[in-house]
Amino acid sequence: MSAASPDPLAVCEAAARAGGRVLGDWLGRFSATQKGPRDLVTEADFASQREIRRLVLEAFPTHGFVGEEADAAAGQPPAGSVGHGGAGTRWIVDPLDGTTNYVHGFPAYCTSIALADGDDLLVAAIHDPLRDECFTARRGGGAFLNGRPIESPRVVAAVEAVAAVSFPPRVDADAPAVGDFLAVLPHVHAVRRTGSTALNLAYLACGRLHAFWARRIACWDVAAGILIAREAGAAIGPFAVAEGPIPLDDPAFVAASTPELLAEIRGLLRGGRAS
């Protein structure tokens, strides 16, 4: 009689928590280097990724693995990197989302792990080691915070919404991201930039935020958060068009607590500067 296969979500959560413990172990004794303009990486990023990779591939040795630091070290760009490890089932991992925050002691960073089959997200976990908060989701099974069900709030009007945005490491004054920010800012209750895309989406899932958008971002930044927010009831759609899939190899999307709010935020973004 063969042993039962491990539960992918249990492995995902355990790996996210293990990566978070590694980040805690490295606090105060890491050095930071630049992997690009204003884009930092530390020994903690690599150590966390090694531990996550070990745990998920021990449980599922035939799966592919896409980690931010491995791909960055190999010179692979974010767009398209999701295909590394095969087009089938693979783990998509950011071992430290919010590295700049981590380096400077700003308390907003996490580990982020998702399991995907093609563009279909299956399970996800985002772990904030400072607050011991672990957001999890299974496709079709709802979203949870430390085992308790969570739901995105029913905010329908932009004027009531607290939105979040992620900027790339280097932003010029005339960058499209700045135009997007200025287009939305006057019409919402507030806009926040936490420095952690994964936490932005987790907070959308549990009601701390109400909207988020990303014009261009890497798969490992958003894969887990997209599934968790979606399973919490948030509306998620393409950045530029009303409907359609969100390809993981080039994710550009708007997420909001309700379809009405998503439509309003997308409309504001369309009124921003041309890309």
- CATH at 186: 3.40.190.80
Give me the pLDDT at residue 2, please: 53
| 96 band by pLDDT with thresholds 50, 70 and 90 | very high
Residue 46 within a domain: yes
167 and 111 together in one domain: no
Mean pLDDT of the chain, nearest integer: 87
Q: What percent of the chain has pLDDT over 70?
A: 86
Whether this model's pTM surpasses 0.85: yes
71 and 204 together in one domain: no
Of 149, 172, 202, which marks where a domain is finished? Answer: 149
Residue 3 within a domain: no
Residue 2 within a domain: no
18 and 39 together in one domain: yes
Backbone phi, psi, residue 186, to 5°: -70, -10
Residue 1 within a domain: no
164 and 248 together in one domain: yes
Give me the pLDDT at residue 71, please: 46
Q: Are strands 32-36 and 39-42 parallel, antiparallel or unpaired?
A: antiparallel
Of 116, 149, 182, which marks where a domain is finished? Answer: 149
83 and 166 together in one domain: no
Selected residue with higher pLDDT from 264 and 42:
264
202 and 249 together in one domain: yes
Selected residue with higher pLDDT from 152 and 166:
152
131 and 61 together in one domain: yes
Which range, 77-86, 189-198, 234-243, is most confident?
A: 189-198
Average pLDDT over residues 139-154: 97
Give me the pLDDT at residue 245, please: 81
Rounded to whole angstroms, what are the CA distances from 125 to 59, 68, 260? 16, 16, 27
Counting DSSP H helices and E strands in the chain, the numbers are 8, 14
Of 101, 123, 149, which marks where a domain is finished? Answer: 149
Candidate from 78-87, 182-191, 219-228 with smallest mean pLDDT? 78-87
Q: Is 105 exposed, middle or buried (0-12, 13-18, 19+ CB in 10 A)?
A: exposed
113 and 187 together in one domain: no
29 and 123 together in one domain: yes
CB atoms within 10 A of CB 193: 13
CATH number of the domain within which 35 lies: 3.30.540.10
Provide the residue range defining the domain that includes 103: 8-149
Residue 65 within a domain: yes
Question: CA-to-CA distance for 121 and 106, rounded, in angstroms?
Answer: 30
Residue-wise pLDDT for 172-184, tens only, equals 787 887 888 899 9
| 34 band by pLDDT with thresholds 50, 70 and 90 | low
Average pLDDT over residues 147-164: 96
78 and 131 together in one domain: yes
Which range, 1-10, 69-78, 102-111, is most confident?
A: 102-111
86 and 35 together in one domain: yes
CB atoms within 10 A of CB 272: 17
Report the domain count for the chain.
Answer: 2
50 and 13 together in one domain: yes
Closest residue by Cα to residue 69 from 112, 105, 6, 7? 112
Residue 275 within a domain: no
